[in-house]
Structure 1
């Protein structure tokens, strides 16, 4: 087999390696900063008390249980959708499930409160029909689990549905000809299809729940249900106990870093908006079909009703008065600008890392080198930096440094937000772009290299037409992640520097529910519009560009 020299790939290797080195150096600087500021006379974690270790225990408990429930429910709904490939609204439902990855958590919380809260739709209905309600069960452990499962089970649905749909038709026809039962089919061909994705998906969800901030802050209900993120926030903002906050941050960093390494093998999340529609080679038994439709209907209602509640409540807001307040306009403009810049930065970093990574995975390039797996692993880890270094911990580092540096605190707040939001979206951007870029290289390397096509022309003629839909998706998740993030702004937010999530949290916390509903509706419309339409616009342009493989 022909293998090309290292010199041919020096540009992509140099750029990608520089980006990875920068990200890893940033992680090192953050860790050094936390250690340097900590009390020199005290040993590691000496400022932590028994209550703090109970917080650690509860953080593990709620993250583990949330992950387990999300995997079970998500797998069941994905299996049901796979076996019911044609019904009205299926594509839109799957697209909405996909949007759970980027929905602002505070918006989800408001929707759940409207449906399941003390005076929510469910309790009102139960009170009317039976004279009793469930009470304020949403605040506490139950509420944390419900919100986490709401967001993460939907992510599992989209991820596992791709796996089910990728099962070869030959296997389906074979099990049909053998007359296997529903359970036998699942055990022999469907369970193996999702089994390999469970570790990476489970660890990803565990980390997202472990570092959850806004959900626990709003639905926790009492200090008994605090997690490490909320404890760090309270230690800084309310107690100003910097030593305790640093110890909690270092402990959380160690735990997250230990869990990030298995995520190096995370698989792609593509085809989110346009799922494949497959014809099943068998008719499901009546009981099985009823179970599947029950799961689909329950999941659809459970997911859509809180969004409908946000829309219904938001339409009752006084938008004229809301936008007459300078704070609202300032928060909207600030959030959109930061989200736009974050999405472009995420795209640039992801393209650089993916262009370098594929050199170490393709045998035609440098994949046969003995050190190729190591270089690939290092670059993959640098892309998982946010999951190893939660946004609130990163914000704490910026916050402590900013107090001793010249310049406005708001300037450093912008830097902190851009950095955290970019790193938050980067792992998912890599997961989307990397498989597509490897496929492009595997397909056209020989042709473009033999014709001597320059890097610029290759990008214009080959890479850009093939990657447009993935680039659109990366831009949309980068924008949406940034738009809904509350972690860093919770430390930096003040009267002169506000974003939509911070303003929403202030309105919600001060019981100005009408204004909070209006802001939540603005955030929901912005998020869904960008997430659902931007990838479609890129894909539509790709298909109309005339490239023979544009509609891959």
Structure 2
């Protein structure tokens, strides 16, 4: 499928990418290890670190249990009620939190659940006095469920919709009651999907940074990544940050190993392909409608709150704010650069494994190494990588001068697993269809890229670029380590305005940031929906 010159070029590019990733991560890790020498801030097992680790796992476990537990009835209700008019919009609504920056969603959640939010205002009308506190563990759980409940629902719904129509016809002929149909037909599918979904959400919650930073409410509700940020930005205690980074890597490594050990979904059953018809839907219509309505209300109210508060802000004044202009230009420049770099890294990563053949042992090892390093950011979170570079660069002067380059690379690596996931299946399918024909016709090299590859891969390339750009645009973790007066992005400006109680400005900035990210991710989510759900 490749000529010898193409194979050599892909191998060289793959080796360069692998070396770059290992060098970037290796320098950060080496600095962390060297900085730990002679540290006096305790050990991995002192009471402070144990307490931080315990809370990190506690909030991640509770968030996962709530998200997955609530997703089961929602996905089942959506799977049963296939014909009501608003169903497609409910499913699309569940995609919105996936493309929304965490800081924007947090602001919306505060508008709904905060001290002066809709929920507490309603409860005061009923004679109760501020019974809901959004800060601390409760707020973290609400925010994590807001993000992960729609994700779990979409993944479970995709599995339930693959149940063959023959199963439901047989259940109707046998006169199965709803409880028996769930136990014998739906639950085996859900049980096969739960380990992978729960492991993914557990990983996301254990490495959550922005949500805990804004809603933690104090030392009693602090996770490891937030503690790293506090150790550098407030206490400037590098040995403590190094210890916390080592603890974070240990926990994420254990979680990744646990995810690999979890069961895999059951294989799809054979079917004749007839249209699915559920015979139990009418009997459950009222109960399912209530479940779906509560899910939609929980998901959409923070989004509406962001829009309402943003439109209520002094947008005319914000539009002339030089700080907003600089932050917007900085964010756009960093997001475009990080998305382009992520694509440049991803292309050799997905192409190199296709070179494997008889006698290509070195290429096989290179492909395995690239696939492993493409998910390196899951093992070493952005805050940890940025911490290592921060500790090194502070010896060369103001870290603000080097911050943009480091943040671009960190954000590119953060988006890499998602970009590879989008490009990989599309590239393999394209290569299987056109590889041999292109070589036989002599269309190789740049001519092949221009006339064969780019037209066929245009859509997945644009999807991957837009998604990587949105992830970088809304990220706060790496910027929080380097944030300074000379280097301000939209998320950092939003966080600063929230911290200084300039809530109207924060609402307007949140609206701008949310709209930008949703404009980037919604088309890509719709275009790549089926493929991502199959790969999950």
2:8 matched to 1:18?
no
TM-score, normalisation: structure 1: 0.85
Equivalent in 245, 250, 253 of residue 254 of structure 1: 250
* Aligned 8 A contact 1:200 1:265 in 2: no
* Aligned 8 A contact 1:124 1:133 in 2: no
Q: Counterparts in 2 of 1:405-424, with a 5 A limit?
A: 405=396, 409-424=399-414
Quote the residue 1:232 is aligned against: 228
Q: Counterparts in 2 of 1:34-183, with a 5 A limit?
A: 34-40=32-38, 46=43, 49-128=46-125, 130-169=126-165, 171=167, 173=169, 175=171, 178-183=174-179
Question: Residues 125 and 25 (structure 1 numbering): CA distance in 2 closer, same or farther, change over 3 Å?
Answer: same
Structure 1 window deviating more from structure 2 (374-383 vs 430-439): it is 374-383
Q: Residues of 2 paired with 1:163 and 1:291: CA distance?
A: 22
Structure 1 residue 508: Cα displacement: 0.8
Q: Residues of 1 paired with 2:232 and 2:71: CA distance?
A: 36
Structure 1 window deviating more from structure 2 (294-303 vs 53-62): it is 294-303
Structure 1 window deviating more from structure 2 (350-359 vs 477-486): it is 350-359
Structure 1 window deviating more from structure 2 (300-309 vs 342-351): it is 342-351
Superposition RMSD on alpha carbons, in Å?
3.1
Question: Residues 263 and 386 (structure 1 numbering): CA distance in 2 closer, same or farther, change over 3 Å?
Answer: farther
* Aligned 8 A contact 2:102 2:210 in 1: yes
Structure 1 residue 115: Cα displacement: 0.6
Q: Residues of 2 paired with 1:350 and 1:242: CA distance?
A: 33
Q: Residues of 2 paired with 1:105 and 1:141: CA distance?
A: 17
Question: Residues 348 and 51 (structure 1 numbering): CA distance in 2 closer, same or farther, change over 3 Å?
Answer: same
- For the residue of structure 2 that corresponds to 1:485, the secondary structure is coil
Q: Residues of 2 paired with 1:436 and 1:134: CA distance?
A: 52
TM-score, normalisation: structure 2: 0.87
Equivalent in 296, 311, 317 of residue 315 of structure 1: 311
Quote the residue 2:301 is aligned against: 305
Q: Residues of 2 paired with 1:202 and 1:526: CA distance?
A: 30
Quote the residue 1:511 is aligned against: 501
2:426 matched to 1:430?
no
Quote the residue 1:341 is aligned against: 337
Question: Residues 29 and 409 (structure 1 numbering): CA distance in 2 closer, same or farther, change over 3 Å?
Answer: closer
* Aligned 8 A contact 2:29 2:385 in 1: no
Where does structure 2 lack aligned partners over 5 or more consecutive residues?
263-273, 530-536
Quote the residue 1:481 is aligned against: 471
Question: Residues 173 and 532 (structure 1 numbering): CA distance in 2 closer, same or farther, change over 3 Å?
Answer: same
- For the residue of structure 2 that corresponds to 1:138, the secondary structure is coil
- For the residue of structure 2 that corresponds to 1:497, the secondary structure is coil
Where does structure 1 lack aligned partners over 5 or more consecutive residues?
267-277, 540-552
Q: Counterparts in 2 of 1:132-531, with a 5 A limit?
A: 132-169=128-165, 171=167, 173=169, 175=171, 178-260=174-256, 279-360=275-356, 376-405=367-396, 409-531=399-521
* Aligned 8 A contact 2:422 2:528 in 1: no
Structure 1 window deviating more from structure 2 (368-377 vs 155-164): it is 368-377
Question: Residues 63 and 536 (structure 1 numbering): CA distance in 2 closer, same or farther, change over 3 Å?
Answer: closer
Structure 1 window deviating more from structure 2 (249-258 vs 71-80): it is 71-80
Q: Residues of 1 paired with 2:297 and 2:233: CA distance?
A: 38
- For the residue of structure 1 that corresponds to 2:408, the secondary structure is helix
* Aligned 8 A contact 1:398 1:412 in 2: no
Structure 1 residue 393: Cα displacement: 1.1
Question: Residues 418 and 8 (structure 1 numbering): CA distance in 2 closer, same or farther, change over 3 Å?
Answer: closer
Question: Residues 70 and 409 (structure 1 numbering): CA distance in 2 closer, same or farther, change over 3 Å?
Answer: same
- For the residue of structure 2 that corresponds to 1:26, the secondary structure is helix
Structure 1 residue 459: Cα displacement: 4.0
* Aligned 8 A contact 2:101 2:474 in 1: yes
Structure 1 residue 317: Cα displacement: 0.8
* Aligned 8 A contact 2:144 2:205 in 1: yes
2:22 matched to 1:32?
no
Q: Residues of 2 paired with 1:372 and 1:65: CA distance?
A: 43
- For the residue of structure 2 that corresponds to 1:404, the secondary structure is helix
Structure 1 residue 7: Cα displacement: 7.6
* Aligned 8 A contact 1:340 1:479 in 2: yes
Question: Residues 375 and 449 (structure 1 numbering): CA distance in 2 closer, same or farther, change over 3 Å?
Answer: same
Q: Residues of 1 paired with 2:354 and 2:58: CA distance?
A: 38
* Aligned 8 A contact 2:112 2:301 in 1: yes
* Aligned 8 A contact 2:31 2:389 in 1: no
Question: Residues 10 and 263 (structure 1 numbering): CA distance in 2 closer, same or farther, change over 3 Å?
Answer: farther
Structure 1 residue 446: Cα displacement: 4.2
* Aligned 8 A contact 1:164 1:193 in 2: yes
Per-residue CA shift, 1:374-393, capped at 9, x if unaligned? Answer: 65543222111111111111
